[in-house]
Chain A
Amino acid sequence: MKKRIRARILRSNLGKARYVEYEVPIEESMSIMNVLNYIYENVDSTIAYYCSCRIGKCRGCLMKINGKVGYACTTPVREDVTLEPVPGREVIRDLVVDLDRKTM
């Protein structure tokens, strides 16, 4: 039996960000990255996020997870979750930011 969670994601929308909610089935030992991949592959292929190594090494998938900054690929998911871009960085689109460029 698969559990379902809700993922609230802050997405860019013509410069005005808004939250979009997705329902995602989860099983044990899944990461936030698995949730994003599920949404991209099965629900909404327009979502933007960064994914390279999947194992906490490249450090490209930094984002705000339930209010705390962390890596999508190393954070396990068990309950509903809210995902936002890293604060203080220029947003490229949705959860992708320019990690070098700080906003004022």
Chain B
Amino acid sequence: MNTRIATDVLIIGDGGAGATAAIEASKNEKLVITIATKGHKGKSGATVTGGADLSVDSKTLSERFPWLRGTDPQDSQGLLFEDTVRGGKYLNNQRMVEIQVKEAPERLKDLVDWGVGISEVLHCSGHTYPRGVFIPGIRLVPVLMKKIKEAGVTIVEDTMVTDLLLDDGRIAGAVGLNMRNGDFTIFDAKAVIIAAGGCQRIYPITSAPEELTGDGLAMAYRAGVELMDMEFPMFIPGGFVWPSALLGIVVPYVLSTTGRYGPGHLLNRYGERFMERWAPKTMEHSTRDICSVAMMTEILEGRGSKHGGVYVSLKHLPDNLIDFIHEWQAPEELWKYGGAFDLDDFIPRDSLKREALEAVPASHFFNGGIRISERCETNVAGVFAAGEATAGVHGGNRLSGNAFAEMVVWGTRAGRYAAEYAEKSTKPEIDEKQVERLQRKILQPLEREKGTKPLQVRKTIQDLAWEKVGVVRDGPVLNEAIQRIKAIREKGVGMLYTESKEPVWNREWVEALQIENMLLCLEAIARAALARKESRAAHYRKDFLYTDYLNWTRNIVIKLVDGEMQLRTEPVVVTRLHPPAKVVPYGSESQA
């Protein structure tokens, strides 16, 4: 059965970017605003899972939010701008960074006005001053959901949007699958905002929730929207590989790059503290890119742990300090995970006195994504994007707190400009042929009697991503990966089928629809990684061990042209911080 929903602005994703976009767009009372989300309302995506801190310069914080603990008035917006660009290794769009730094305090003010409590500021690695206003996702999301309800925005939940609909080169709407009843859903829209996050799930071990499979990036790409900086997926060096209940989960009291938290020592199977070879001064508290590369090198060169990671040990600490390790090492909301999780059930504290944990760099964030303007427009008329799904603000590596700032600053801007656009636009025509073709594509795995199993193909993609397009890269291996991707597309994706033909909440069916998106994101990462002939930030090439600021301070842009994935480079948008005109060994500046 088909369901048709008409709206002025359709927002894909109900996380922080989607929610702030909806709240802002709904200020225009003439417009109908609709959100579609793949999960239960307010119960999916990265926002609710977030630790999380919102970067605002410490000076503005001390002036406008004087009750906050831990601010330092010596900071400035200029310094936050500089740290962000240096952290991103000069690949950031500096006009966008300026906007974000300037508007982040306004967005924090919104959140406080709406009822989000704030009390303390964290000092995270890469930041010269404390700037991370601590707001865990579980505190943020209920407030956003309440505001959305008050604004009269409809949320269509448990609905996976699969593709955009175009009318003569501009947006006309989108189609998707309602998992609750198996209905095909057609959205009629004058403007669409993609706020559906990254593609962390292409890697087998991730700190992100299950549903981040790059749907937003892939549907945009298929509609001709440009992607950028795709070679920079970010890894966090403390996702546990054991025990299985904690797979990919980050346990901040053991290993963290946040300020003084995380006293764990990283050891290889010979008991060596290998960070000495990479960053003898900052050791385990080096930035996340360096720690991840170091850990992965140990694993790939056969010095890893029993379950495929490296060891994280607290044995250098006295027992009666470990007794209080959770409480003393991180804010309660981080280790209690909102009260629902008792870590002692899975890692008994006493065991930390005897045994090391096992961790890997876990897939954590997408620095790259949809290429947007300062008004959140893409190159396709009526398609807007915001939040983690976009590229520009972070460049090659994101500083802690800047994902939250990106989410609320660009979510709000996307809502504002998409509403402006929708108000001026006429209603586009839905092309029924396009709809039929996409409906057939969605139904295929359910109708096919035999073929390849979505779970197996997903695992193949994840293993390939981890082994050949992961933290440590190498030209010939990337080439091999691109050939494998082609083979998977031909043999695997075209033949997907589901064992169960039940249309209601069929996990395998959704999995099948996600696979095309995951494979596309993996291909974009692999091709961009192969093209970038240097090592920089979150992109590390074994065959190019230097950062080439002279020739490679450029962004790689990816676009679908005549059925082919086409790559080109564009100069970075620079306003006032110029990259050093030199070639330097990878990671050498992190020691400064």
**Chain A residues at the B interface, C-beta cutoff of 8 Å:** 27-31, 33-34, 40-41, 45-60, 71, 73-74, 76, 92-94, 96, 98-100
Contacts and interface: CB of A to CB of B under 8 A. Distances in A.
A52 B180 CA distance: 16
A48 B507 contact: yes
B249 interface: yes
The contact size tier of chain B is: 35 or more
19 contacts: A29-B244, A29-B347, A33-B245, A48-B504, A52-B49, A53-B210, A54-B247, A55-B341, A56-B340, A57-B137, A57-B338, A58-B39, A60-B39, A60-B44, A74-B340, A74-B345, A92-B504, A93-B505, A98-B180
Across the A-B interface, give the 5 residue pairs with the lowest CB-CB distance, nearest first.
A56-B340, A29-B243, A46-B500, A56-B341, A60-B43
A31 to B, nearest CB: 4
Interface of B: 39-41, 43-45, 48-49, 137-138, 158, 180, 209-211, 243-249, 337-342, 345-347, 453, 455, 498-500, 502, 504-508
A52 B244 contact: no
A45 B249 contact: no
A46 B342 CA distance: 30
Contact of B243 (A30, A58, A73): A30
A29 B507 contact: no
B115 to A, nearest CB: 19
A63 to B, nearest CB: 13
Contacts of A40: 455, 507
A86 to B, nearest CB: 12
A57 B249 CA distance: 12
B419 to A, nearest CB: 27
A101 to B, nearest CB: 11
Contacts of B137: 57
State the main secondary structure of chain A at its contact with B.
Answer: loop
A40 B459 CA distance: 14
Nearest to B342: A74
B183 to A, nearest CB: 13
B524 to A, nearest CB: 25
A45 B455 contact: yes
A45 B48 contact: no
Given A29-B346, A52-B39, A46 B340 contact: no
A96 B500 CA distance: 16
Nearest to A99: B40
B338 A56 contact: yes
Q: Which of A33, A92, A98 has the most CB of B within 10 A?
A: A92
A99 B158 CA distance: 12
A1 to B, nearest CB: 16
Nearest to A28: B243
A92 B504 CA distance: 8
Nearest to A26: B244
A34 to B, nearest CB: 5
B158 to A, nearest CB: 8
Given A76-B245, A76-B345, A55 B49 contact: yes
A99 B180 CA distance: 13
Contacts of A50: 39-40, 43
A34 B499 contact: no
A49 B504 CA distance: 11
Given A55-B249, A56-B341, A59-B340, A34 B49 contact: no
A93 B504 contact: yes
Given A54-B249, A57-B338, A60-B43, A48 B244 contact: no
A52 B211 contact: yes
Nearest to A75: B345
Contact of A57 (B48, B246, B505): B48
Nearest to A56: B340
Nearest to B499: A45
A96 B243 CA distance: 26
Contacts of B39: 50, 52, 58, 60
B16 to A, nearest CB: 14
Contacts of A76: 245, 345-346
Contact of A74 (B41, B44, B341, B505): B341
A74 to B, nearest CB: 5
A59 B243 contact: no
Nearest to A31: B245
A92 B507 contact: no
A33 to B, nearest CB: 7
Q: Which of A29, A30, A49, A57 has the most CB of B within 10 A?
A: A57
Given A52-B44, A98-B180, 13 more contacts: A27-B243, A27-B244, A29-B243, A30-B243, A46-B500, A46-B502, A46-B508, A48-B504, A50-B39, A51-B210, A52-B211, A73-B245, A99-B43
B585 to A, nearest CB: 38
Contact of B48 (A48, A58, A93): A58
A93 B345 CA distance: 29
A71 B249 CA distance: 16
Given A46-B502, A48-B506, A48-B507, A56 B245 contact: no
Contacts of A46: 499-500, 502, 506, 508
B9 to A, nearest CB: 23
A30 B337 CA distance: 17
Contacts of A98: 180
B507 to A, nearest CB: 6
B507 A34 contact: no
Nearest to A29: B243
Nearest to B511: A45
Contact of A54 (B40, B210, B342, B347): B210
A57 B39 CA distance: 14
A13 B456 CA distance: 27
A48 B505 contact: yes
A29 B245 contact: yes
A50 B500 CA distance: 17
